[in-house]
């Protein structure tokens, strides 16, 4: 019972780790590609590497158990939510309506 619980905690933590690599890599790629002469190459190579790592991680963690795969995917989604929270823009960067739109009837 305890061994199974520890395994599931490890699977969830691995999902968070895989998600952090995937979405952290996406954030890094976006920042690098903005100043690059070949942004499409950055995005393609990054996507290939991030997908390879994530899919290999899911494959090795699941080991034929759908419960592990589902829990790992939950950790992956949790990492996405954490990365969205960490990289959100402040309220100052929001687009404000133009003066014309404010005074429109």
- Where would I find the H helices in 1-105? 2-34, 39-62, 66-86, 99-102
Using a cut of 0.85, tell me whether the model's pTM lies above it.
Answer: no
**pLDDT tens, residue by residue, 82-101:** 999 998 876 545 555 555 55
* pLDDT winner (highest mean) among 16-20, 94-98, 100-104: 16-20
Contact between 75 and 57 under an 8 Å Cβ cutoff? The reply is no
**pLDDT tens, residue by residue, 44-81:** 999 999 999 999 999 999 998 999 999 999 999 999 99
């Amino acid at each position: 019972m305890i061994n199974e619980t520890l395994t599931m905690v490890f699977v969830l933590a691995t999902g968070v780790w895989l998600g952090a690599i995937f979405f952290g890599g996406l954030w890094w790629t976006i920042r690098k590609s903005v100043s690059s002469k070949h942004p499409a190459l950055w995005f393609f190579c990054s996507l290939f590497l991030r997908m390879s790592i994530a899919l290999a991680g899911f494959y090795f963690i699941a080991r034929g158990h759908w419960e592990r795969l589902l829990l790992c995917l939950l950790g992956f989604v949790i990492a996405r939510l954490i990365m969205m929270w960490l990289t959100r823009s402040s309220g100052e960067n929001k687009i404000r309506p133009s003066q014309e739109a404010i005074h429109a009837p």
